[in-house]
Chains A and B, each alone.
Chain A
């Protein structure tokens, strides 16, 4: 089942902060975050594992609340280069098969303006 991302879109001025949320109706094994710039392929940002700590990547960090089945991506002091669409992907263990499926949300479009 596709995770729900919010907001769908956000516009920021350079230097402002933003939070993107990702929530699932199912218990999660991990949450993956990717960023896709216009006309390009998605690029990996970070993975948060169940029981793991908050991760960071430059001024982008994320948290994973297992009880609420939610993850949040924090963008601090945004730069023009942060513009793009952010996708969360959730991993739910498939019982019995030992296979894992990654399901992405619909994305959050972030625009950073001067």
Chain B
């Protein structure tokens, strides 16, 4: 089944404790992206990757890192999480940039 998977789905952590949210797609898509969703603010793009060679910042990259070492995986790294990073995070992939995006199920992160 074609899908985007994220792990974990739910995470409660403490300020400053490094964490990684994994994202994997099995559709051989070139384009991958991370979004955060907060009430009243919609979906905001954190980072995106055109392909394994090109990764760039979105609208809200501060406090996040990403890595695209292979086509199928695009992990989101929070080196020192803070409470303002409490949010619902979605990973998405598309055949290419500008095409339909397939979203993962989301990861709800709480930083205390």
Choice from A29, A41, A91 contacting B90 with Cβ under 8 Å? A41
Question: How many Å lie between the Cα of A104 and that of B41 in the bound state?
Answer: 9
Q: A41, B43: Cβ atoms under 8 Å?
A: no
Specify which of B42, B44, B58, B100 is in contact with A47 (CB 8 Å cutoff). B100
* B56 and A104 within 8 A (CB): no
Count of chain A to chain B residue pairs whose CB atoms are closer than 8 Å in the complex: 59
Q: Is the CB of A99 within 8 A of B42?
A: no
Residue numbers in B under 8 Å from A98 (CB-CB)? 50
CA distance A44 to B103 in the complex (A): 9
With a cutoff of 8 Å between Cβ atoms, the chain B residues found around residue A106 in the complex are: 40-42
CB-based nearest A residue for B105: A41
Contact with A along B28-44 (1 / 0, CB 8 A): 00000101000011111
The 8 closest A-B pairs by CB, nearest first: A41-B103, A106-B42, A104-B43, A44-B100, A100-B97, A107-B42, A104-B42, A99-B56
